[in-house]
Amino acid sequence: MSSAIHETLTTPDGPFTVLADTDGSVMASGWTDDIASLVARLRPASRPERLVAGSMPSAAASVRAYYDGDLGALESVAVSLHGTEMQTRGWTALRGISPGAPLSYAEFAEALGSPSAVRAAASICARNAAALFVPCHRVLRSDGTLGGFAWGLDVKRSLLAREAQA
């Protein structure tokens, strides 16, 4: 990967930056304006050599639509995540969790076909670089508490509340 485009948007949850491949596929995203923190979430082999500020109309429009109440707007945005076979299956499965219907880590592990792999399921969420586009915030502890979230529990709580209202 030689170069990537980045764009920072203003959201109710703070600055949200998207890092995308030159074809527009989201590689990383999160509630920060620190590009280096997003790049650090990528595997070393997937890190771009050059970063260019630019506009990503599809991703940006989808994020704005999500925050305006269209919770399905993110589903059509392509993502480009690189990991193990189980991680990529997990990230695909996360995209299938409906807004307002979070799963527990145990339920997520079961959905992956590995009911005893709860820690692996949690690790898949933790290693998700494309937050919001791959909605790892929709996975909770078995007791219903939030668990962790790379971008802070206040953001996770806000996202879940927004989705529960819809």
pLDDT at 166: 74
- Which of 18, 42, 136, 159 is flagged as catalytic? 136
pLDDT at 25: 95
pLDDT at 162: 96
Q: Tokens in use for 46?
A: 């997937």
- Confidence class of residue 2 from pLDDT cuts 50, 70 and 90? confident
Averaged confidence pLDDT in the chain: 94
Spatial separation of the C-alpha atoms in residues 79 and 15, rounded to whole Å:
20
Per-residue model confidence as pLDDT tens digits over 23-76: 999 999 999 999 999 999 999 999 999 999 998 889 999 999 999 999 999 999
For CATH 1.10.10.10, list the domain ranges present in the chain.
85-165
**What is the fold, at CATH topology level, of the domain defined by 3-76?**
Double Stranded RNA Binding Domain (3.30.160)
For CATH 3.30.160, list the domain ranges present in the chain.
3-76
- Confidence class of residue 95 from pLDDT cuts 50, 70 and 90? very high
Query: Residues of 8-45 as b/e, b for ≥16 C-beta within 10 angstroms?
Result: ebebebeebbbbbbeeebbbbbbbbeebeebbebbeee
Q: Looking at the predicted structure, is the pLDDT value of residue 118 above 60?
A: yes
Q: What one-letter code names the amino acid at 90? A: G
136 is catalytic: yes
**What is the fold, at CATH topology level, of the domain defined by 85-165?**
Arc Repressor Mutant, subunit A (1.10.10)
pLDDT at 59: 95
Spatial separation of the C-alpha atoms in residues 166 and 65, rounded to whole Å:
13
Q: Looking at the predicted structure, is the pLDDT value of residue 1 above 60?
A: no
- Say what the pTM is: 0.95
Per-residue model confidence as pLDDT tens digits over 69-85: 999 999 999 999 999 99
